[in-house]
Chain A
């Protein structure tokens, strides 16, 4: 069993948890809010005597429950965001919960992404920063860069595929060399 404090383990999986939250909410603010709520549950759990055998699996379930609660609350209170189809929500949640990728591999993936970001041309990196720093919409970014929303969306799609490919290549190289 990992003796690392729970909150530290939780923070180490931030990218994975935030990814899931964004995948099912497609709302960066709500994702962050749910992530924080789950963090408090983790802190409280740390003060209890019970032992958690598999922290990552336990934390995933905490995140999922908090997320579903938040989604229900949002869907009741607003019609601004179309709810994701239940079928997709189920299959994504199932994949998230059952994902057994090694924690070390997840961390290596994070390191690889940082290296890949460093190799991005300046204008692409700027585009990524505009999109993810403040969860700007394609409309907002297009105003900033003097393009159209559709062009921004296409460009960002290419950059993400580029980053994803870069990460996978780096992981493969690392695996081959080890």
Chain B
């Protein structure tokens, strides 16, 4: 054994124990001093660090078990092992998770707006009758396009403001894209789908049964987490969503300074959970169509909606083929794994 190797042995022990989280304060100081004093120790730490990172990444993506145990259809190349598969990289679970996390909170808001955008504004206006009419609006096929701005709330949103376009109608039809577009996700009333530029289209029909059926083995963990959340309103049928609003929010009319508009405010009864705690709507007094809306969360996140268009779109427009043409399609359904 070389002199250098001898000296590194105790450092190696400290490094391994560090990744186990079992060092005390004194040992952490000892490790810090060792790393600061020796380039070789630093290199040893870095190589263990990469090893640890890869094991976590491989584990999260389900690549640590016997390859024969992996479900067919979701076997992919680990991300930082060459050669790199373009499709897979464009759709790593991390990215999907993030862009879904960004998008779904917006879609929830859009879904709420949808319920109030059918031109069925009640007369005389009161909060309860708005909700009654909203149920009709939910089933009524009306296409709306909203520009959405989201800011604040966490490390990411503080750093950047998100701008997205949402096209939405009743019957679980919607498409969400960032203004400068690098992905699209939506539902055509039958399947939920998502796609990023250059990658395949991921589709699922029954997201609710996916988590228990697939567990950790599927790479798309972010999507599963969102789908499994009982607060993930995006995935709810409209009647359920309306019921949730009725159950969870107090809705009131607010005096509007513009006689051409109606202003509604929904306030979350319980501060628990991650839903917006205040939702403000400004709607056209004649048509009842919501012109803009603001949603505020307890953590400071703010989402603004502004209607930009009311296009007439075909049913097919909400299908993934219209937004990600000529892409390979990867279906992820619970039945595939049973």
Residues of B contacting A134 in the complex (Cβ-Cβ under 8 angstroms): 59, 216
Find out whether the CB atom of B84 lies under 8 angstroms from the CB atom of A125: no
Find out whether the CB atom of A41 lies under 8 angstroms from the CB atom of B54: no
Bound complex: CA of A12 vs CA of B35, how far in Å? 26
Find out whether the CB atom of A23 lies under 8 angstroms from the CB atom of B49: yes
Tell me whether B80 is interfacial, beta carbon within 8 Å: yes
Tell me whether B160 is interfacial, beta carbon within 8 Å: yes
Find out whether the CB atom of A107 lies under 8 angstroms from the CB atom of B80: yes
Find out whether the CB atom of B48 lies under 8 angstroms from the CB atom of A164: yes
Partner of A153, one of B22, B59, B66, B78: B22
Q: Which of A58-78 contact B (CB under 8 A)?
A: 66, 69-70, 73
Q: Which residues of A contact B (CB under 8 A)?
A: 5, 7-8, 11-23, 26, 28, 31-32, 34-37, 39-41, 43-44, 46-47, 66, 69-70, 73, 84-85, 87-88, 90-92, 95-96, 99, 101, 106-107, 109-111, 113-114, 117, 122, 125-126, 128-129, 131-135, 138, 153, 156-157, 160-161, 163-164, 167-168
Would you give the shortest CB distance from A40 to chain B, in whole angstroms?
5
Find out whether the CB atom of A19 lies under 8 angstroms from the CB atom of B50: yes
Interface residues of chain B: helix, strand, loop or mixed (majority): helix
Find out whether the CB atom of B222 lies under 8 angstroms from the CB atom of A15: no
Find out whether the CB atom of A26 lies under 8 angstroms from the CB atom of B32: no
Tell me whether B1 is interfacial, beta carbon within 8 Å: no
Bound complex: CA of A8 vs CA of B92, how far in Å? 10
Interface residues of chain A: helix, strand, loop or mixed (majority): helix
Which of chain B's residues has its CB closest to A48's CB?
A: B180
Residues of B contacting A36 in the complex (Cβ-Cβ under 8 angstroms): 94-95, 97-98, 101, 222
Which of chain A's residues has its CB closest to B25's CB?
A: A85
Tell me whether B16 is interfacial, beta carbon within 8 Å: yes
Find out whether the CB atom of B28 lies under 8 angstroms from the CB atom of A84: yes
Find out whether the CB atom of A96 lies under 8 angstroms from the CB atom of B46: yes
Find out whether the CB atom of A19 lies under 8 angstroms from the CB atom of B52: yes
Find out whether the CB atom of B35 lies under 8 angstroms from the CB atom of A92: yes
For chain B, the bracket of interface size reads: 35 or more
Residues of B contacting A107 in the complex (Cβ-Cβ under 8 angstroms): 80-82
Find out whether the CB atom of A18 lies under 8 angstroms from the CB atom of B155: no
Find out whether the CB atom of B97 lies under 8 angstroms from the CB atom of A14: no
Given contacts A133-B62, A157-B16, A160-B16, 18 further A-B contacts (CB under 8 A): A5-B198, A15-B79, A16-B50, A16-B80, A26-B18, A40-B156, A41-B156, A44-B160, A87-B28, A96-B49, A101-B46, A106-B50, A117-B58, A133-B59, A133-B64, A153-B22, A160-B55, A164-B51
Bound complex: CA of A157 vs CA of B102, how far in Å? 38
Find out whether the CB atom of B16 lies under 8 angstroms from the CB atom of A110: no
Find out whether the CB atom of B50 lies under 8 angstroms from the CB atom of A109: yes
Residues of A contacting B95 in the complex (Cβ-Cβ under 8 angstroms): 7, 11, 36, 39, 43
Find out whether the CB atom of A95 lies under 8 angstroms from the CB atom of B98: no
Partner of B78, one of A40, A46, A88, A110: A110
Tell me whether B31 is interfacial, beta carbon within 8 Å: yes
Find out whether the CB atom of A129 lies under 8 angstroms from the CB atom of B64: yes
Bound complex: CA of A31 vs CA of B59, how far in Å? 13
Would you give the shortest CB distance from B78 to chain A, in whole angstroms?
7
Bound complex: CA of A80 vs CA of B110, how far in Å? 37
Find out whether the CB atom of A95 lies under 8 angstroms from the CB atom of B42: yes
**Which of A11, A19, A92, A161 has most chain B Cβ within 10 Å?**
A19
Tell me whether B21 is interfacial, beta carbon within 8 Å: yes
Find out whether the CB atom of B19 lies under 8 angstroms from the CB atom of A26: yes
A-B contact pairs, 10 of them (CB 8 A): A19-B52, A26-B18, A41-B159, A84-B28, A88-B31, A125-B66, A132-B58, A135-B56, A161-B12, A161-B16
